[in-house]
């Protein structure tokens, strides 16, 4: 790190005023907001200086009036730009989980009792967003960050700035909200077939279920469906371009129970196994059957539904990591 970059980082840490991460809501106090002229502001000041020198040199009374009038406008701009940012409240909102390789979108809630104009939020890597905040109505600011690897992705320090209303003055502050995003393993593009097993449960009738006694019709084929349930004869009659269909059954249910077992996978590295298990979990969830997950030191009992899928994906994401 260069000397200038190190000095800038040291200033930012000092400017935060607190040790990150900060609990919500974060209120930008007066001591946390800094102001400096923009390039346009420096040009404006230089023009005023030239006007003042010319007015003094030629004893122009109206020149003095215009110069000091414009100078007063610049001073008022400093106050309005500063007030556009100070006392702003920043809270972290809900951040939905993503898969590795996707963009994590952090939601920040900005609140104020007065209207705020032309605010800009940015991340150290260059991602930013611009928005206005109306009085007593929170605004949703979204900052996108690449999710490179599985686990918890913490929102880095953010910057907030404004040059409203005239663009002559820049007011800015830093904040470190306590926000993070759960990153699931990237689903494998290719994985072994699902390890189907069956256990007979008689005496149960679930209308619209997936037993094997009475044929109930067809539905769209899903990759996780057992090959024996695919309507191969129907596909042969309809031609090569026709979509595959899966046969549905009703009656005494044969509960197809899946165990997504770490040991059932080929001898590959940890991340590849987790990617394959993620693919299996998504396919098993799409099939609608009950399925369980076995990892070294962790077992999820067979179940189904979105909550079960979320729990399994979280377990895969945090495997080998400290579950904070």
pLDDT at 56: 95
Structural domain containing residue 225: 196-317
Task: Respond yes or no on whether the N-terminal peptide bond of residue 140 is cis (omega within 30° of 0).
Answer: no
Same domain membership, residue 147 and residue 50:
yes
Instruction: Write the CB contacts of 282 (distance below 8 Å, at least 6 apart in sequence).
Output: 187, 309
User: Do 284 and 231 fall into the same domain?
Assistant: yes
Report residue 97 CA to chain centroid gap. Answer: 7
DSSP sequence for 56-121: HHHT-HHHHHHHHHHHHHHHHHHHHHHHTTTT-EEEE-----EETTSEEEEEEEEE-SS-EEEEEE
Instruction: Write out the two tokens for 204.
Output: 């149960």
Q: What is the chain's length? A: 324
Do both 31 and 124 map to the same domain? yes
Instruction: Report if residue 89 sits inside a domain.
Output: yes
Contact criterion met (CB below 8 Å) for 220 and 246: yes
Domain end residue (candidates: 184, 210, 230): 184
Residue 324 included in any domain = no
Residues 135 and 237 in one domain: no
Last residue of a domain, one of 163, 184, 205: 184
227 Cβ contact partners less than 8 Å away, ≥ 6 residues apart: none
Cα 54 from Cα 69, distance rounded (Å) = 15
Domain for residue 136, yes or no? yes
Do 115 and 214 share a domain, yes or no? Answer: no
For residue 206, give both structure tokens: 């679930």
Q: Are residues 153 and 243 in the same domain?
A: no
Determine the distance from the C-alpha atom of residue 27 to the mean position of all C-alpha atoms in its chain, rounded to a whole number: 23
The rounded distance, in Å, linking the Cα atoms of 139 and 107 is: 10
Cis preceding linkage at 25, omega within 30: yes
- Quick one: which H or E segment has residue 215? strand 214-220
Same domain, 7 and 99: yes
Do both 128 and 260 map to the same domain?
A: no
Smallest CA-to-CA distance from 155 within 38, 20, 317, 262 is with: 20
176 shares its domain with 200: no
From the list 230, 228, 220, the residue with the least C-alpha distance to 198 is: 228
> Could you tell me whether strands 34-37 and 169-175 are parallel, antiparallel, or unpaired per DSSP bridges?
antiparallel
| Inter-residue contact 298 to 323 (CB < 8 Å) | no
Are residues 73 and 216 part of one domain? Answer: no
Print pLDDT tens along the chain (324 aa): 678 778 877 877 777 777 778 888 999 999 999 999 999 999 999 999 999 999 999 999 999 999 999 999 999 999 999 999 999 999 998 899 999 999 999 999 999 999 999 999 999 877 899 999 999 899 999 999 999 999 999 999 999 999 999 999 999 999 999 999 999 999 998 888 888 654 434 334 444 444 445 555 556 666 656 676 677 766 666 666 667 777 666 543 444 578 999 988 888 899 999 999 999 999 888 877 789 999 999 999 999 899 999 999 999 999 987 644
Whether residue 322 is contained in a domain is answered as: no
Is residue 172, in this structure, part of any structural domain at all? Answer: yes
Does a structural domain hold residue 191?
A: no
- Is residue 190 one of the residues assigned to a domain? no
61 and 9 both lie in a single domain: yes
Q: Is the peptide bond before 123 cis (omega within 30 degrees of 0)?
A: no
Domain boundary among 125, 158, 184: 184
User: Residues 71, 122: one domain?
Assistant: yes
Tell me whether residue 178 is in a domain: yes
| 58 φ, ψ (degrees, to nearest 5) | -105, 5
**For every residue of 180-199, which 3-state class applies, written as one string?**
EEEEECCCCCCCCCCCEEEE
Instruction: Give the Cβ contact number of residue 129 at 10 Å.
Output: 15
Number of domains forming the structure of the chain: 2
């Amino acid at each position: 790190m260069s000397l200038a970059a190190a000095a800038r980082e040291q200033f930012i840490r000092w400017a935060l005023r607190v040790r990150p991460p900060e609990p919500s809501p974060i209120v930008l106090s007066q001591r946390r907001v800094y102001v400096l002229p923009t390039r346009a502001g420096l040009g404006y000041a230089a023009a005023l200086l030239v006007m003042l020198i010319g007015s003094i040199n030629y004893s122009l009374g109206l020149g003095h009036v215009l110069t000091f009038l414009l100078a007063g406008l610049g001073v008022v701009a400093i106050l309005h730009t500063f007030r556009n940012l100070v006392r702003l409240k920043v809270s972290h909102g809900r951040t939905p989980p993503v898969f590795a390789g996707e963009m994590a979108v952090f939601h920040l809630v900005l609140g104020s009792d007065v209207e705020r104009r032309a605010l800009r939020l940015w991340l150290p890597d260059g991602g930013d967003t611009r928005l206005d905040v109306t009085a007593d109505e929170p605004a949703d600011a979204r900052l996108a960050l690449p999710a490179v690897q599985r686990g918890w992705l913490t929102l880095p320090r953010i910057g907030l700035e404004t040059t409203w209303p005239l663009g002559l003055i820049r007011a800015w502050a830093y904040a470190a909200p306590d926000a993070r995003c759960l990153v699931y393993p990237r689903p494998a593009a290719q994985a072994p077939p699902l390890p189907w097993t069956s256990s007979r449960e008689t005496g149960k009738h679930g209308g619209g279920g997936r037993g094997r006694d009475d044929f109930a019709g067809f539905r769209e084929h899903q990759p996780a469906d057992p090959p024996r349930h695919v309507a191969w004869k129907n596909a042969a009659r309809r031609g090569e371009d026709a979509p595959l269909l899966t046969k549905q059954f009703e009656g005494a249910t044969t509960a197809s129970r899946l165990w997504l077992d770490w040991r059932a996978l080929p001898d590959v590295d940890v991340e590849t196994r987790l990617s394959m298990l993620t693919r299996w979990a998504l396919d098993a969830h799409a099939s609608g059957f009950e399925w369980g997950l076995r990892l070294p030191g962790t077992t999820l009992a067979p179940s189904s539904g979105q909550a079960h899928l979320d729990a399994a994906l979280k377990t895969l994401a945090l495997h080998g990591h400290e579950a904070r």
